Amino acid sequence: MSVVLGATRFCERVRGCDVFSNRNSRGQVRQALTMSKKLLLDVDCGVDDAQAIMLAVAAPGTKIMGITCVHGNTTVENVCKNTLRVLQACDKLEVPVFKGAAKPILGNNINADHFHGEDGLGDAPDPDAPGLDLLQKEDAVSAMIRIVDENPGEISLVATAPLTNLALAVRMDPSLPSKLRALYVMGGNTESRGNATVCGEFNFTADPEAAYIVLNDYDCPTYLACWEFTCYSKLSWEFCDAWLSQDSAKARFMSRIFHHSRAISQSEGFEQVFISGGGLVSCDSYAMAAAVDDSFVVESDRYPVSVELTGTHTRGMMVVDTVGFLKKAHTAFIIRKVDMEKFEQMMMAALK
């Protein structure tokens, strides 16, 4: 069931009741066309989260209402430090940052320090890094609920990390999804290809129960940038060179923190993990780009989705119900194709 998006996608979203908390009027449609995008970001700030945050900061007409931090690529303490470092590089330390869950709902932590470095940002020294005293006192889950409640129908929640904070938030406030404009997630897989286990994508595998709760309890418009799609949509290393060679403090910052991950990405073994050959796979940036620009996604599939919780090899794997066995009314947009020229422009702007 292929859905060609763009103007059609936006019209479909504003025509449906769920985007505006079950309300639909001409005035609200006009408001949606003119108001700035309000984003709430949930991150486990590794290098690709940093790229996505910088993309959002640079996007015109976009306001970041807050960034909530969660375990994942590294410890939640490192995630908080890294998020503040990225905001400092963008001269945006006024964006509030909140500390969230340190562990998954069940089981033990996994991390991606082999790829992102032990600190999550390539172990690049940063003697001028901001301190954790800049964190908000409010916890991430409470902040998520409050910010959405204060801006009903206006917040696009962008999750580029294990979904623990989102799962805890919907358990604390089951009405939360109905107050969102939309949910954008980097996570899951559609071809049973794994990057953390044989069949598991990292963000879902790091907390399968949380992913299950989010895909089943968030009934707002939901857009998924899954692992295989990001690999098929990679950017060339030639683009990467031009991207990093821009004469700006942000480009120099990215070059430092990306050095470790790039070397691994270009190794022979990792090119197999990235599926169709080598290139820059900025996984989290695809979900972020979709959130900031409604015309970015040009084609998607729309199906009910869930998460496998018990399989020996498939725990954490996303389940795509192409037939209707799950008997679910809610369907997610699974992103298939995006405007790659626009993506390159957004990535370049992020480091200007």
| Beta carbons within 10 angstroms of residue 26's beta carbon | 7
Q: List the one residue out of 154, 253, 203 whose CA is nearest residue 42.
A: 203
User: Which residue among 18, 42, 44, 119 is the active-site one?
Assistant: 44
pLDDT reading at 34 higher than 70? no
The answer on pLDDT for 4 being more than 60 is no
pLDDT > 70: what percent of the chain?
89
pLDDT given for residue 36 in this prediction: 83
Percent share of the chain, pLDDT over 90: 83
Query: What DSSP line would sit under 134-156, residue for residue?
Result: GS-SS-HHHHHHHHHHHSTTTEE
- Asked whether 259 and 115 are in contact (CB, 8 A), the reply is no
**pLDDT score, position 271:** 67
| Per-residue CA distances from 201 to 48, 66, 104, 165, 302 (Å) | 15, 26, 15, 18, 20
Residue 96 main-chain phi, psi, to 5 deg: -70, 135
Inform me whether the pLDDT recorded for 22 exceeds 80: no
pLDDT tens per residue across span 158-212: 999 999 999 999 999 999 999 999 999 999 999 999 999 999 999 999 999 999 9
Average pLDDT value over all residues in the chain? 90
**Distance separating the N- and C-terminal Cα atoms of the chain:** 39
Band (274; pLDDT cuts 50, 70, 90): confident
44 classed as catalytic: yes
Q: Which tens digits make up the pLDDT trace of 70-106?
A: 999 999 999 999 999 999 999 999 999 999 999 999 9
Of the candidates 178, 157, 184, the one whose C-alpha atom is nearest the C-alpha of residue 68 is 157
Report the distance separating Cα 112 and Cα 118, nearest Å. 8
Element (H, E) at 89: helix 76-89
Choose among 121, 232, 138, 230: nearest CA to 185.
Answer: 230
Task: Tell me if 182 sits within 8 A of 13, measured CB to CB.
Answer: yes
Whether residue 264 has pLDDT greater than 50: yes
> What domains can you pick out in the chain, each with its CATH number?
37-351 (3.90.245.10)
Rounded to whole angstroms, how far apart are CA atoms 22 and 278? 44
